[in-house]
Structure 1
Amino acid sequence: MKELMEQIKTDLMDIFTHLHENPEVSWKEFETTKYLASFLEKQGAKVRTFSECTGVIADIGEGFPVVAVRADIDALWQEVDGQFQANHSCGHDAHMTIAIGVLMTLKRLSSLPKGTIRFIFQPAEEKGDGALTMVDKGVVDDVDYLYGVHLRPEMELSDGYASPAIIHGGARFLKGTIQSDDAHGARPHLGKNAIEVGASFVSMLNGIHLDPLVPYSVKMTSFHAGGESANIIPGSATFSLDLRAQQNDTMEQLVTKVKDIAASLEKLYNTSIQLETAANVAAAEVNREAQAFMERGIIEALRNEKLHAPLVSTGGDDFHFYTIKRPHLKATMLGLGCGLTPGLHHPKMTFNREAMLDAVHILTITVLETLKEGKK
C-alpha cells in the first residue's frame, strides 16, 4: 500500500496546491466543482453533478455494500493580510485531496471487493446546510457506511497520530432583532432603549443552567444599535447569538431557554424581539461498528501506538446531519494529527502536508475492510 502512496504523491501534492490556491466560498464553488468533476471522470469514476447547486458525487465499483467517503469543498471568507478573501483555513482543500487520493489508490489495486465506493464532495459545510442539501438529493439513501475526515489542531492531536472518531458538539447561530421607536435623550420615558434590552438579554443568558455534566454555552456575539447622534435613544437593534452543546437534546433545551428569555423581555420592555436560525450544526452520532473499522485502518497504516482515543470537540461539522436524517447510516469521522498551527480558521493556518498521505492510507484500508466485512 505504501508503494501506491508514493506513486500518487506528486499528483496529490499538485492537486492540493491547485485547490489551495483557488478557494471558493459556500454555494459558489463553481470552478471547484468543474475541476473535481473533470478529474474524477478521467479517473474512470461515474460522476454526477447538480444543476441547482455545486458539489460532485463519484462512484467506483458496483453492488452492495455502498461505502461513502465525504469531503467538504468550500472555503471561508476572512481577512488575510488586511484583505478579505476566500481562504482554505479549515482544511477543506486537504479533505478534498485526501478523498481523491483514496479513489486514486483504490483504482490502482488489482482487484476490489464487491461493493460501491461513493465519494461525496459536499458544498457549503461552513454554512451548515450543505449536508442537508445532499441528503435531500438522495445521495446517501443507499449508503451503508459513511466516513469523513478532518484535520485537527496540534494542541488537540499531535502530528503522526489519528483518531477513529471526532465527537463534535452541536452549534446553532441565531440572529435577532429588537424593534421599537427611537426617543430623545432628554425624554427616555417616551421610548424603549434597545441597548438596555440587549444588556438584560446578556445577563439572563448567563443565568441559564442545564445539566453540568453535558458541556454547553450561549453568548451574544454581536450587537448593533444607535448611530452617530448621541442624543437619540435607539429603539431598534440587531444581534447574534452563538449556542453550543455537546449533545443534541441539550441543544434543544438551550434553544428553548433562549426563546423563553426573548419572550419574557418582550413583555418586560413592551417591545418586539424576533429570533431566527441563521445556521445549525448537529452534534455527532458516531457508530461503533464504523469506528471499529476506522481503528483497524489507523493501526494498519500507522501502528497501534499512533491510535488516539476518540476526540471530543466543541467545534461542529454538518457531517453529522447525514446520520441524523438517515439513521440507517453507520458513520464516523477520522481525526488527523498533522502539526496544524496556529489553529483552524486562523488566516495563516498551516500543517504538515505529508500527513495527507497517512489519511489516504487509513481511509483506503478502512474502506477495503468495510467492503469485506460490512455486508448489507
Structure 2
Amino acid sequence: MKELVNELNSQLIGIFSHLHNNPEVSWNEYKTTDYIKQLFEDHNCKITTFEDVPGLVIEIGHGKPVVAARADIDALWQEVDGSFTANHSCGHDAHMTIVIGTLMACLRKGLPEKGTFRFIFQPAEEKGTGALAFVEKAIVNDVDFLYGMHLRPLEELHHGQFTPAIRHGAARFVEGTIQGDDAHGARPHLNANAIQIGAELIQHLNNIHINPMVPHSVKMTAFQAGGESHNIIPGSANFAVDLRAQTNAVMQELTEKIHNIADMLGNYHDVEINLKTTADIAASVTNQEAIQLMEEAIRETTGSDHLEQPIVTTGGDDFHFYTIKKPHLKATMLGIGCDLQPGLHHPKMTFNHSIIPKAIEILLSAMNKTAESYA
C-alpha cells in the first residue's frame, strides 16, 4: 500500500494545491465538482453529478458490501488579511485529496476485489445541510459501511497520531432579528437601542448555567446594527448565535433558554426579537464494528504506537446525519493528527501536509478490510 501511495504523491501535491487555491463556499462548489470529475472521466468508474446541487459520487466495483468514503468539499467564508474570501481553514482541501488519492490507488491496484467502493464528495458541510441533501438523493440507501475523516487540531492529536472515531457534539446555528424604531441621538428615551439590547443578550447568554459535566457553549458570532449616520440610535439589528453541546438533550436545553431570554428582553424593551434555526447538527452516532475496522487499519499501516483512543470533541459535523437518517449504516470518522495550528477555522490555519499519504493508506486499508470481511 505504501509504495502504491508514494507513486501518487507528486500528483497528490498538485491536486491539493489546486483545491487549496480554488476554494468555494457552501452550495457553490461547482468548479470543485468539475475539477474532481475530470480527474476520473477517463477511468473505469461510474460518476454521478446532480442538476440542482454541486458535489458528486464516484463508484467502482459491483455487488455487496457497499463501502463508502465521504469527503466534504466546501470552504468557509471569512476575513483573511483584511478581506472576506473563501478559505479552506477547516481542512476540507485535505479531506478531498485523501479521498481522491484513495480512489486513485484503488484504480491502480484493481480494488475492490469484492463488493463496491463509493466515493462521496459532499457539498455544504459548513452549513450543516449537505449531508441531509445527499441523504434525500438516496446516495447511502444501499451503503453498508461509511467512513469519514477530519484533520484534528494540535491540542487533540500530534502529527502521526490517529484515532478510529471522532465523537462530535451537537451544533446549532441560530439567526435573530431585533425589530424596533430608530430615534434621534439626542432623544434616547424615545426608543430601545438595539445595540444595548444586543449587549444585554450577550450578558444573559454568558449567564446560562447547565450541568458542567456535559461540555457546552453558546456565543454570539455576528451582530449588525446602525448605519453611516452616527446621530441615529438604531432600533433594529441582526445577529447570529452558535450553540454547541456534547449531547442532544443539553442542546435542547440550551435552545429553550435562548428562546426564553429573547422573549424576556423583547417584553422588557417592547421590541420584537425573532429567532430562526438555520442549521442543526446532531451529536455523533458511531458504530463499534466500523470503529474496530478503522482501528485495525491504523494498527496495520502505522503501528500501535500511533493509535489513540476515540476523541470527544464539542465540534460538530453533518457527517452524522447519514447514520441518524439511515440507522442501518455502520459508520465512523478517522481522526488525523497533523500538528494543525493555531486551530480549525483560524484564517491562517496550517498543518503538516506530509500526513496526507499516510491517511490515504489507512482509509484504503479500512475500506479493503471491510469489503473482504463482509463480502
TM range (shorter): over 0.9
1:317 — aligned with what? 317
1:213 — aligned with what? 213
Q: Which runs of 5+ in 2 are unaligned?
A: none
Task: Tell me the CA shift for residue 244 of structure 1.
Answer: 0.8
* More displaced stretch, 173-182 vs 343-352: 343-352
Does the residue aligned with 1:124 lie in a helix, a strand or coil? Answer: coil
2:153 — aligned with what? 153
Decide whether the 8 Å contact of 1:19 with 1:93 is kept in 2.
yes
Report the residue type matching 2:346 in the other structure. H
1:99 — aligned with what? 99
Distance 1:97 1:80 in 2: 23
Q: How does 1:1-376 map to 2 (within 5 A)?
A: 1-110=1-110, 112-185=112-185, 187-227=187-227, 232-374=232-374
| 1:184–1:25 distance in 2 versus 1, CA, 3 Å | closer
Distance 2:258 2:366 in 1: 42
| 1:164–1:111 distance in 2 versus 1, CA, 3 Å | closer
Among all aligned residue pairs of Structure 1 and Structure 2, give the percentage whose two residues are the same amino acid.
58
Q: What is the CA deviation profile of residues 235-284 of structure 1, one whole-angstrom value per residue up to 9, with x for unaligned ones?
A: 22222211111112211221111112212222222221101123332221
Task: Tell me the CA shift for residue 87 of structure 1.
Answer: 2.2
Q: Which runs of 5+ in 1 are unaligned?
A: none
* More displaced stretch, 295-304 vs 305-314: 305-314
| 1:67–1:110 distance in 2 versus 1, CA, 3 Å | closer
Report the residue type matching 1:280 in the other structure. D
| 1:186–1:317 distance in 2 versus 1, CA, 3 Å | same
Decide whether the 8 Å contact of 1:43 with 1:104 is kept in 2.
no
Distance 2:90 2:61 in 1: 31
Distance 2:251 2:217 in 1: 9
| 1:290–1:77 distance in 2 versus 1, CA, 3 Å | same
| Length, aligned pairs only | 375
Distance 2:38 2:308 in 1: 36
Report the residue type matching 2:46 in the other structure. K
Q: What is the CA deviation profile of residues 308-327 of structure 1, one whole-angstrom value per residue up to 9, with x for unaligned ones?
A: 11112222211111112222
Does the residue aligned with 2:8 lie in a helix, a strand or coil? Answer: helix
Report the residue type matching 1:281 in the other structure. I
Decide whether the 8 Å contact of 1:170 with 1:247 is kept in 2.
yes
Distance 1:80 1:263 in 2: 36
Does the residue aligned with 1:344 lie in a helix, a strand or coil? Answer: coil
Q: What is the CA deviation profile of residues 33-80 of structure 1, one whole-angstrom value per residue up to 9, with x for unaligned ones?
A: 111112123232100000001001011111111111000111222333
Task: Tell me the CA shift for residue 4 of structure 1.
Answer: 1.1
Distance 2:316 2:344 in 1: 12
Q: What is the CA deviation profile of residues 88-131 of structure 1, one whole-angstrom value per residue up to 9, with x for unaligned ones?
A: 22211111111011112222335634211110001111222111
* More displaced stretch, 45-54 vs 270-279: 270-279
Q: What is the CA deviation profile of residues 322-374 of structure 1, one whole-angstrom value per residue up to 9, with x for unaligned ones?
A: 11222221111111112223322233322222211111110111011111224
| 1:19–1:225 distance in 2 versus 1, CA, 3 Å | closer
Report the residue type matching 1:263 in the other structure. D
| 1:354–1:228 distance in 2 versus 1, CA, 3 Å | closer
Distance 1:326 1:62 in 2: 21
Decide whether the 8 Å contact of 1:76 with 1:87 is kept in 2.
yes
| 1:214–1:3 distance in 2 versus 1, CA, 3 Å | same
- Calculate the aligned-residue CA RMSD, in Å: 1.9
Report the residue type matching 1:361 in the other structure. E
- Give TM-score, length-normalised by structure 1: 0.93
Does the residue aligned with 2:71 lie in a helix, a strand or coil? Answer: strand
Q: What is the CA deviation profile of residues 111-163 of structure 1, one whole-angstrom value per residue up to 9, with x for unaligned ones?
A: 63421111000111122211111111111111111101111122321111111
